[in-house]
């Protein structure tokens, strides 16, 4: 279904009954990211959305509508329209940054937080400037050469190297999902919601008492280090490093990922171990 939120039409799928779990995909993802887990999390009400600029959600011209804080407001308004007051939130990569932003801005709305391969943003303005410039280069490339050329380049990033071990059919499914977006949507998402454009939430972590699960793949050294630093600051966080996985744990170790998420939610964020 489509839900109009502050002038933007969001594509939303709500599946199942039970405690609501809001699912936020990564850059170039969509609601399809979560389809393999529908049977695994069948005891929950799964709220899946295409984040602005992705899938069947609008891709407006105004870059300000893509900022992570603006989209966090959209999530709040969207959940209100769906009649959901409190929700567990799971976010992957870009979706994890959005999930953390939402939890910081609306802690009263979040029961538990699960962050897969994510970060609180970059620590310094210098780092953010460098990232904004590189994201702008990518955005221009998407506009000039199209989504297919961009996806070809995107798939060669070291971040996704471990996905080349996946079966061919699975790699093709991921590629089709990435190719399903518009050039305008992806370019504007990079400009508005890119890591270089979001505030740094590092100093806010100490005040976030929501039970939080941090997940990283053992082959993703950069994000495992970020997760370790986050755990040291978050007062109620657990960190799990998943064996034989890189950045996209949900793709590379889906059964383990599904089980961990289920157990964390069922136990109320307790007894997961570090």
Which DSSP state fits 46? E
Is 78 among the domain residues?
yes
Residue 237: the pLDDT is: 97
Is 118 among the domain residues?
yes
Is 128 among the domain residues?
no
What is the CATH number for 47?
3.40.50.1820
Residue 246: the pLDDT is: 95
Is 140 among the domain residues?
no
pLDDT tens digits, 263-273: 999 987 665 44
Range of the domain at 29: 2-122+198-267
Is residue 14's pLDDT more than 70? Answer: yes
Residue 269: the pLDDT is: 67
Is residue 109's pLDDT more than 70? Answer: yes
Residue 118: the pLDDT is: 97
Is 132 among the domain residues?
no
pLDDT tens digits, 195-222: 999 999 999 999 999 999 999 999 999 9
- Report the alpha-carbon distance of residue 214 to residue 216 in Å, rounded: 7
Q: At what angle do helices 125-145 and 183-193 cross, to 10 degrees?
A: 170
Is 37 among the domain residues?
yes
> CB of 69 within 8 A of CB of 105?
yes
Q: Which two tokens stand for residue 241?
A: 């490093």
Is residue 261's pLDDT more than 70? Answer: yes
């Amino acid at each position: 279904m489509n839900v109009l939120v502050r002038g933007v039409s969001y594509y939303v799928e709500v599946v199942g009954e039970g405690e609501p779990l809001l699912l936020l995909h990564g850059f170039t993802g969509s609601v399809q990211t979560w389809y393999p887990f529908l049977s695994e999390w069948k005891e929950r009400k799964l709220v899946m959305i295409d984040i602005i600029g992705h899938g069947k959600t609008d891709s407006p011209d105004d870059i300000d509508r893509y900022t992570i804080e603006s989209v966090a407001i959209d999530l709040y308004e969207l959940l209100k329209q769906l009649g959901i007051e409190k929700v567990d939130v799971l976010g992957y990569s870009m979706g994890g940054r959005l999930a953390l932003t939402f939890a910081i801005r609306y802690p009263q709305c979040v029961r538990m937080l699960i962050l897969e391969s994510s970060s609180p943003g970059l620590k310094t303005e210098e780092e953010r400037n460098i990232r904004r410039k590189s994201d702008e280069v990518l955005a221009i490339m998407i506009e000039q050469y199209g989504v297919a050329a961009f996806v070809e380049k995107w798939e060669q990033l070291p971040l996704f190297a471990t996905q080349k071990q996946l079966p061919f059919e699975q790699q093709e499914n991921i590629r089709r999902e990435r190719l399903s977006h518009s050039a305008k949507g992806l370019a504007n998402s990079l400009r508005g919601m890119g890591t270089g454009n979001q505030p740094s939430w590092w100093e806010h972590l100490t005040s976030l008492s929501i039970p939080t699960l941090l997940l990283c793949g053992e082959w993703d050294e950069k994000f495992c280090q970020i997760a370790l630093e986050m755990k040291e600051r978050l007062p109620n966080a657990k960190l799990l490093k998943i064996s034989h996985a890189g950045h996209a744990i949900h793709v590379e170790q889906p059964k383990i990922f599904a089980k961990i998420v289920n157990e964390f939610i069922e136990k109320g964020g307790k007894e997961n171990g570090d």
